[in-house]
Copies of this chain bind each other. A is one copy, B any other.
Amino acid sequence: MQADAPIGVFDSGVGGLTVLRTLIEKLPREHTIYLGDTARVPYGTRSGETVTRYALLCARHLAAHGIKLLVVACNTVSAHSLTALADALPIPVVGVIEPGAQAAAARTRGGAIAVLGTPATVASGAYQAALRRLAPLSSVVARACPLFVPLAEEGWIDGEIPRLVAERYLSDLRRAADTVLLGCTHYPLLARVIAEVMGPQVALVDSAEATVQAVAALLEARSLLRTGSSAARHGTLCTDLPDRFRAVAERFLGRPLPSVELVDLGTFSHS
């Protein structure tokens, strides 16, 4: 495996771009290739078997691009399918749940952690299980915040509406938690509003940052960090409606997307 190979990142849609954004900021030399499976988004409403089947299609497609490491920037896939992906691929696979839970466990002072996520992530219990293991003396509350995803996708990330929505979801957690874990890749866009509602005494932990730290540590340990000095290349793929993907994607990524390539994963469905 070559250090010059790209890092693959995938999600069911645009959310994982917050992880890619952090990856590009922290590891600016790395080539990346992102795949948003927009033909099958959202994954959160599928059964676990279906999610794993879709995840394998995405992972194999990225593997065919010669990636050196796969980042699963999707909470649903991270909850259900990491073992299946690791079994299918000869490269390291990093999900978002374990790094996020580790960061929250390291950060909490009083051991009161609130996990915010989609209904599917909360129902999966994956963050709760990881925190019980990593911070066994903590008390963990998980809260589903379904409006946060469309608010982020609409770009309504400050002002009265997101503040009231965050109040409604979170006000009773203000005194019940000292650490809030953003357990959905869309939520970093709403981090400022969430921080305001929770108050300055509460620490916010972003799974995206924790995940990128795990990626950096893993690549360094395996001497796979890219050392080349030529500009890093960033490819973006999606599986349906690239124009709509791009419009939202640029807000999530915080920079223009030069091009979005439409790919058909059906050709990789043998298995």
Question: Cβ of A154 and Cβ of B161 under 8 Å apart?
Answer: no
Question: Cβ of B164 and Cβ of A160 under 8 Å apart?
Answer: yes
A: interface residue count bin: 20 to 34
| Contact for A46 among B149, B161, B240, CB less than 8 A | B240
Kindly state whether residue A153 has any CB partner on chain B within 8 Å.
yes
Kindly state whether residue A147 has any CB partner on chain B within 8 Å.
yes
Kindly state whether residue A129 has any CB partner on chain B within 8 Å.
no
Question: Cβ of A45 and Cβ of B240 under 8 Å apart?
Answer: yes
Complex: A159 Cα to B52 Cα, angstroms: 40
Total copies of the chain: 2
Q: Encode contact with B along A204-242: 1 for CB under 8 Å, 0 otherwise.
A: 000000000000000000000000000000000000110
- A244 to chain B minimum Cβ distance, whole angstroms, is 7
Kindly state whether residue A200 has any CB partner on chain B within 8 Å.
no
| Contact for A240 among B41, B50, B150, B168, CB less than 8 A | B50
**In the complex, chain B residues whose CB is within 8 Å of the CB of A146:** 150, 153-154
- A11 to chain B minimum Cβ distance, whole angstroms, is 14
Complex: A165 Cα to B153 Cα, angstroms: 14
| Contact for A154 among B147, B160, B240, CB less than 8 A | B147
Complex: A244 Cα to B122 Cα, angstroms: 13
**In the complex, chain B residues whose CB is within 8 Å of the CB of A42:** 42
**In the complex, chain B residues whose CB is within 8 Å of the CB of A45:** 38-39, 41, 240-241, 244
Complex: A45 Cα to B39 Cα, angstroms: 7
Complex: A165 Cα to B39 Cα, angstroms: 28
Question: Cβ of A47 and Cβ of B161 under 8 Å apart?
Answer: no
Kindly state whether residue A91 has any CB partner on chain B within 8 Å.
no
Kindly state whether residue A191 has any CB partner on chain B within 8 Å.
no
Kindly state whether residue A151 has any CB partner on chain B within 8 Å.
yes
Complex: A165 Cα to B244 Cα, angstroms: 22
Question: Cβ of A151 and Cβ of B161 under 8 Å apart?
Answer: no
**Chain A: residues with CB nearer than 8 A to chain B?**
38-39, 41-42, 45-47, 50, 119, 123, 146-147, 149-151, 153-154, 156, 160-161, 164-165, 168, 240-241, 244
User: 4 shortest A-B CB distances, which residue pairs?
Assistant: A161-B164, A150-B150, A146-B150, A147-B150
